[in-house]
Amino acid sequence: MMKTRFSLFAILAATALSMAAGHTLIDGVLEKSAIYPGTTHTFQVYVPEQYDGKRPAALYVGLDGVLCHAPQVMDSLIEAGKMPCTIGVFLQPGIITADDGTVLRYNRCYEFDSTTDLFARFLETEVLPAVEQMTSPKGKPLRLSQRPELRMIFGLSSGGIAAFNAAWHRPDLFGKVFTGVGTFVAMRGGNDLQALVRKTEPLPLRVFIQDGTNDVWNPLFGHWYEGNQLLASALEFAGYDVQCDWSDGGHNVTRSTEIFSQVMEWMWRDWPAPLITGRTQNNFLEDLLNDEDKGWEKVDESSTSNRVTRIIYPDLTNAAVIPQTPGNVVWQYILKDRELACGEPFYWLHNDDDSQPLDIQTITFDSKGNLWAVTNMGIQICDQNGRVRAILRLPQDCPYVNEIRFEDGGGWVWLHTVKGTWKRRFNVKAPWLGTRPDSQGQG
């Protein structure tokens, strides 16, 4: 047994080699996590015999360890040229134990069912760097491709929603997702994902969903099969490359195992081609998206904007105000004799982290009277009746935004942050002061 010290995390990883025809499995242990303090995560790394270390390999992450005979299936598909040479990482959820080995906390539900980006950050900053410090049985360093179209993640049950969330929050990390009997129910907010998918600008993801009519592990959390169908419907509505397998199966690994090889072939059918972003059927959102858009561009390293927390409606009849008390609402007031009156928590915003108040950073109105609210989970755009109709992604690792404004003539939206300025092109115009936007009715 070889022992390797991963100095980046002060981890002691005991590495055992398990040889099989076509591949090697390397055991590892991850400890002293900064993201999940006190936890221990065990994992296995799959290295196919074709890996020579000359170029980065594709990546497959399997949650809850080895499932669906994944190593044997990958051996066969790699040998047949139906998927690229791939390094697999089979990760177990974390536990915290006492000195005598008694488990003090099972961290699986917190890690897997939370709908934030925390687990994706754990994979990015702790798990995958630890893997890349390992070497193959031939002494070659394990190199992972950084291209999302060459990265896939799979999970079952709570692992299913974890796999989806990792790609949903970080499409730059994972472009392919297979979720089996996923817990898209009311455990930690998974029941709300289908609404966010419908409202958020599409991402370049390929998704396979498997579930069965007898998936009723615990109905007090919701209807599991229906939750998966709602997510699938939302993905189709939002223009994703999505495929589903519906059966009479239950809450188990049986059906995912039966179809695993076919799912892998579907996932990798056109490698190494990049994934394509689809077009949403959300007409409010689609009208905003500009065909000439190239994403957020950083145009300045400095910014002198002061934070805008109060904005007047274009025709000067009302105002929107970010409250001093944290929450997920923006207040609307009617202006009477230049005074604020008739206040209501009118604009209701989404929050994908129920453990923390939503961070509403700044707001503005566009020419149609829609409110643009910059939050830590994106730019949420409300119609005149206070409902979120579209959500736009912020730049990756975007600093705190003090001001958002529009520039006519090109449809540019500008974000002035505490550490620079970004711009992106949309089909939007700045409001004309003193002009009343066309009414959207009471809807």
Encode 415-439 in three state secondary structure.
EEECCEEEEEEECCCCCCCCCCCCC
What token pair was written down for 374? 């910059």
- Cα-Cα-Cα-Cα dihedral sign, residues 227, 228, 232, 233: negative
* Neighbour order of strands in the sheet with 412-417: 297-300, 420-425, 412-417, 401-407
Q: pLDDT tens digits for 158-200?
A: 999 999 999 999 999 999 999 999 999 999 999 999 999 999 9
Start-to-end Cα distance in the chain: 67
SS3 letters for 143-175? CECCCHHHEEEEEECHHHHHHHHHHHHCCCCCC
Q: What is the pLDDT of residue 12?
A: 35
Give buried/exposed letters for 87-97 (b at 16+ CB in 10 A, else e).
bbbbbbbbbee
pTM for this predicted structure: 0.93
Q: Tell me the CA distances in angstroms from 257 to 9, 253, 373, one per residue in order.
A: 34, 6, 44
Other beta carbons less than 10 A from residue 301's beta carbon: 8
pLDDT below 70 — which residues of the chain? 1-21
Domains of the chain: 2-267 (3.40.50.1820), 283-425 (2.120.10.30)
Beta-ladder partners of 48: 23
Which of 158, 433, 150 minimizes the C-alpha distance to 314? 433
Q: How far is the C-alpha of 238 from the C-alpha of 280, rounded, in Å? A: 4
- Residues 389, 382: contact at Cβ < 8 Å? yes
Predicted pLDDT of residue 327: 87
Give the number of other Cβ atoms within 10 Å of residue 272's Cβ. Answer: 11
Alpha-carbon dihedral angle through residues 28, 31, 34, 37, given to the nearest 10 degrees: 130
**Distance between alpha carbon 22 and the CA centroid of its chain, in Å?**
33
CA proximity to 95, closest of 164, 52, 41, 163: 41
Check residue 397 and give its pLDDT. Answer: 86
112-154 pLDDT, tens digit per residue, is 999 999 999 999 999 999 999 999 998 999 999 999 999 999 9
pLDDT of residue 74: 98
- Please tell me the distance from the alpha carbon of residue 371 to that of residue 304, in angstroms, as a whole number: 23
